[in-house]
Structure 1
Amino acid sequence: MLRTLSLLLCLSSAVAEQLCRQDAPNGYKVRLSIETALGKEAYVWNENESFFFRSTLAFAMRQQLDGHRFEESNIQMCNETLRVSFWFVVTWPDDPSSTVGGAEVEKALRRFRARFNGAFLLTDQTLEFLGVPPTLPAPVSYDTEPWLIVFAVLMSLICVLLVLLALLSRRKKRMNQKSAFLEQDAVVFTQM
C-alpha cells in the first residue's frame, strides 16, 4: 500500500513536470514587477507568495467553473526566476494529468483580474499574464440615462417659467382692467 502511494505521488509530480513547461498548450507566463509597483515597500517573492498566487488562482477557477473544487495543488508552477516570472498550468481536480482549457483559464483571469491586482498590491502594468490582455472595465450603465435627467430638469424649469409668465400676464391684465375701471369711476365722480 505504501509503495503504491509513493509511486502515485512520484508519478503525479512527473506528470506535473511534463504539463508545466514553456511550450505547454494551456500554460501561461506571469511577470510581476513588485519593486516597480511598490518601491521601497516591495515584498520578497517566496514560497508563501507562490502559495498565495496558487490559492488565488484556485479561487478564480472555482468561481469560473462552478461545481469543480480546485485546490492550490491543481495549479502547477514552473520555471520560476529571481525577477519573479514563472509559467503555470491548471489541472482538473478529477484528472490531474490533464489541463483545463486555455479559454476557461483566460475567462477566470479576466473576470478576477482586480482580485489578483488587489491581492498582490499590483496593477495591470505590474502584474502581467502574457497572452491574456487586460480587459477594460465595463462601461457604467445607469438605471436612468444622465441626459434624460438633464432634459427633465430643463423641461421642468421651462414649464415653471411658462406658468409664471401666464400668471404674471393675467395679473397685469387684471391690474390694467382695475385701473381702467378706477379711472372710469374717477371720471364719473368728477363729472358729478
Structure 2
Amino acid sequence: MARDVFEQLSSASVSVRHGGTYAMEQIADAAPHYRGHVAALLASFVRQQAPWPPIRPPGEVDAERPRYTGGLRDDVGGAVAALSRRSMVLPGDTIELEKVDLRGADLATQDLSWFCFAGSNLEGANLTGCDLSHTTFADASLKNANLTGATLTDANLNGADLTGATGIGTPPVPHRTPAA
C-alpha cells in the first residue's frame, strides 16, 4: 500500500496527488507508529509542490492559482489540511513548512499551532480563527493576511511583513478539541 501512495504523491495529476495526501493520513490512522514519518513526508510534499520563491516562472504560477478553491491546488491544500487535523503529529512536534508559497490560501479555523512558516509567503491568506500558538513566521510575508480571531500566543513574528494585515489583536476564536 505504501508504494502505491508514494506513486500517487509523485503523479503528474493533481487529483491523484490529492488522493495520495488522504491515503497518507489513513496510513497514519491505521499505523500510529508511522505518524511522525507521515507528517514529515506530507510537510516535505508541501515544500516540494509549493516552494517560495516558485521554481516555475511567476506568471505561470499566478495564472494557475485562481482555478483552485481556497487559493491552493487541491493536493497542497489537502496536505496542509491533513497536517492541521494533527492526528499524525506527535505532541510538541513542529511541522516544518519553511519557504512555502501559500499566497491567498484559505486556512480559516485550522490548527496551525507549532507550524514553522519561516521565510514563507502567506500574502492575502485567510487565517481567521486559526490556532497559531507557537507558530514561527520569522521573515515570512503576511501582507494583507486576515488574522481576525487567530490565537497568536507565543507566535514568532520576528521579521514578518504584516503590511496591510487585518485582525491582529482581535479576541481569539474558541478552538474545538478534536474528538479522540
> Given the two structures, how large is their TM-score scaled by the length of structure 1?
0.24
Which entry has the higher C-alpha Rg, 1 or 2? Answer: 1
Q: Which has the higher helix share?
A: 1
